[in-house]
């Protein structure tokens, strides 16, 4: 299947997942769209990265694929209602923490860690500001897991920026934008959950999340640009 067709299918699946999440509270049956297409979108992104050729390196591709698998597991945990599985949020958080470890591992296969210190300083500053704002709304049981997760997310995003600036390649640019989109998605999710409800939060959170995953998956392809 051509890459453009695979990308089109990902877009369709993502749109259905978002529509299901947006309408789920008003039309109960629409929630099943979300339950079906949320994991299916992530699974489609996995196959997109798996089938991409030529690849930057097999070690980069394997680490990205592992991160997408962890994201898929996190998707399933986070979409489960609290009445079905009370620990869904914490398990989803841990799954995405592992995903960011995998993505960080990929980003370190061809670039120095913190090769651009200003990128790390800027992202760290944003992270501290967000934590200060969100801290009063964080349940005590989630404070340590959330801080650990934020540290990994910020590190992954900063390294994606650093790598992009070091390599100046298409792969570097795709992963850089993907890392920023991941940070945006998780920031929106955190504010929506722990600070104040955001209008059309499923649309904003999921669209930036799927864009992040797709860009990171697309970064496995080698290019001379």
199-215 tens-digit pLDDT: 999 999 999 999 999 99
Asked if residue 60 lies in contact with residue 50, where contact means CB atoms within 8 angstroms, the answer is no
Burial of 157 (0-12, 13-18, 19+ CB in 10 A): buried
pLDDT at 64 over 70: yes
| Residue 91: per-residue pLDDT | 95
Please state which of the ranges 17-21, 42-46, 66-70 shows the lowest mean pLDDT: 17-21
pLDDT at 97 over 90: yes
DSSP structure string for 81-146: -TTT-TTHHHHHHHHHHHHHHHHHHHHTSSS-TTSSHHHHHHHHHHHHHHHHHHGGGS-HHHHHHH
**pTM as predicted:** 0.94
Asked if residue 27 lies in contact with residue 216, where contact means CB atoms within 8 angstroms, the answer is no
| Residue 154: per-residue pLDDT | 97
pLDDT tens, residue by residue, 176-194: 999 999 999 999 999 999 9
Q: Smallest Cα–Cα separation from 120: which of 166, 55, 78?
A: 166
What is the share, in percent, of the chain residues with pLDDT greater than 90? 84
223 — pLDDT class (breaks 50, 70, 90): low
Q: How far apart are CA 188 and CA 186, in angstroms?
A: 5
Q: How many Cβ atoms from other residues are within 10 Å of residue 15's Cβ?
A: 16
pLDDT at 1 over 80: no
Please state which of the ranges 27-31, 51-55, 109-113 shows the lowest mean pLDDT: 27-31
pLDDT (mean) for 68-82? 92
pLDDT (mean) for 124-141? 96
- Residue 168 tokens read as 């100046």
| Residue 28: per-residue pLDDT | 63
What is the share, in percent, of the chain residues with pLDDT greater than 70? 96
Calculate the average pLDDT of the chain.
Answer: 93
Using a CB cutoff of 8 Å and minimum separation of 24, what contacts does 112-115 make?
112/162, 112/166, 113/159, 113/162, 114/158, 114/159, 114/162, 115/162, 115/163, 115/165, 115/166
222 — pLDDT class (breaks 50, 70, 90): confident
pLDDT (mean) for 8-36? 86
């Amino acid at each position: 299947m051509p890459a453009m067709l695979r990308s089109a299918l990902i877009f369709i699946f993502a749109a259905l997942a978002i529509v299901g999440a947006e309408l789920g509270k008003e039309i109960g049956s629409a929630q099943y769209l979300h339950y079906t297409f949320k994991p299916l979108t992530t699974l489609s992104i996995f196959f997109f990265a798996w089938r991409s050729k030529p690849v930057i390196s097999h070690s980069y591709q394997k680490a990205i694929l592992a991160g997408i698998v962890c994201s898929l597991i996190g998707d399933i945990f986070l979409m489960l209602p609290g009445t079905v599985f009370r620990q869904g949020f914490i398990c989803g958080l841990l799954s995405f923490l592992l995903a960011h470890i995998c993505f960080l591992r990929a980003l370190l296969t061809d670039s120095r860690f913190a090769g651009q210190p200003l990128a790390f300083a800027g992202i760290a500053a944003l992270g501290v500001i967000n934590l200060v704002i969100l801290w009063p709304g964080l349940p005590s049981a989630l404070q340590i897991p959330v801080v650990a997760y934020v540290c990994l997310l910020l590190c992954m995003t900063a390294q994606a920026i650093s790598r992009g600036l070091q390599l100046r390649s298409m792969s570097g640019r795709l992963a850089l934008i993907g890392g920023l989109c991941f940070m945006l998605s998780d920031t929106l999710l955190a504010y929506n959950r722990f600070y104040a409800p955001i209008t059309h939060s499923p649309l904003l959170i999921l669209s930036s999340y799927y864009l992040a995953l797709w860009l990171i998956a697309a970064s496995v392809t080698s290019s001379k640009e």
